[in-house]
Amino acid sequence: MTELSQKIVGSCIRFYREKEGLSQDALATQAGISYQYLSGIETGRENFTIGVLEGLCWALNVPMRNLIATAYDNAEGYFPPQIERNYFRSGVPLPSGLNINHLEQTLNLTQLVIHRINRNMVVEGGKTLQNLIQGNNFSGMVSNILSNSFDQCSPYKHNHHQRYPDLVSSRSNNPIIDGLEVKTTMNIGKGGESHNGHEGWHVIACYNFLPSGDIKFVHIMFAWLNSYRDPICPDWKYVGSSANEETGSRRTETFNTTMSGTTKLRDGSIYLDPEYVNFSRWRHPKDRIIPDWSIWG
């Protein structure tokens, strides 16, 4: 590795260490190296092997691909958006085996992928993805990238049968109990929309555009939703399919969440950026037992 590359990667290791609030001694101990060696790595004075870098990435809980990509972006003055850890809300129920660390890595990787695509688009064509792709298609693309990031950063992997749900836990043989359906939208606090209305875990990830064209996740909701066929409390309602007046094409059959389903999702706001999310005017049933983890709790 060249001396310049050592400095670029070393400074990024320091960036992540300070972000985690770790001392050099604490990180070095976890990575199995001396703090003197770590100090030299961070300043670019010491060379290091892939094995040492893997150990540091493991101790920092950052995938190596994220650290390397962030290192070179930072060196060129282009910083991908980063999730604010203090905006996570502890205690919100998540699908089995999924935790906040998985979620933070997944969201950061998705933002990083969009960031890097946008950089290449601007260099090659002068426009960002936002300027080239219609809103619904863009959200669909973000959903696919987010699903892929879950696959890389969590126990939830692609459902290779391409059926509901999008993701299935690698630790379970039950795709409904330990599955996850993924949707993204720019409409903060919006309920769910589905083409099947099945029961199971759902995540709605809301994002905003930054002036650079990058995306920033501002509101993440998780909830177990009942099927539209549930005889007691369905969380989905069938809204039919509609024809596009311009093209004549017909949309796939669609289900939207009922008030109970939307409330469950809003209760399960595990990540909430107060700069963008103001839930004080959101409606929710008043005659209910509000769970401890709810934003209204």
Q: What are 95-127's pLDDT values in tens digits?
A: 999 999 999 999 999 999 998 888 777 766 777
Tell me which residue range forms the domain holding 26. Answer: 1-79
The amino acid occupying position 280 is S
The DSSP H or E segment spanning 82 is none
Give the β-pairing of 269-272 and 215-225: antiparallel
Residue 54's pLDDT is: 95
Q: Are residues 128 and 267 in the same domain?
A: yes
Digit-coded pLDDT (tens) for 14-47: 988 988 889 999 999 999 999 999 999 999 999 9
Alpha carbons 179 and 167: distance in angstroms, whole number: 6
Q: Domain with 62 in it: what CATH number?
A: 1.10.260.40
Alpha-carbon gap, residue 16 to 7, rounded angstroms: 14
Same domain for 175 and 249? yes
Q: What is the pTM of this model?
A: 0.77
State the average pLDDT over residues 246-265.
Answer: 82
pLDDT of residue 76: 66
User: Are 209 and 282 within one domain?
Assistant: yes
| 73 pLDDT above the threshold of 80 | no
Residues 137 and 90 in one domain: yes
Residues 41 and 16 sit within 8 Å (Cβ to Cβ): no
In this prediction, residue 219 has a pLDDT band, given cuts at 50, 70 and 90, of very high
Give the per-residue pLDDT at 249. Answer: 61
Q: How many domains, in total, are found in the chain?
A: 2
> CA 79 to CA 43: how far, in whole Å?
20
Percent of the chain with pLDDT over 90: 62
Q: Which residue has the higher pLDDT, 286 or 247?
A: 286
- Domain end residue (candidates: 79, 107, 122): 79
Q: How far apart are CA 202 and CA 179, in angstroms?
A: 9
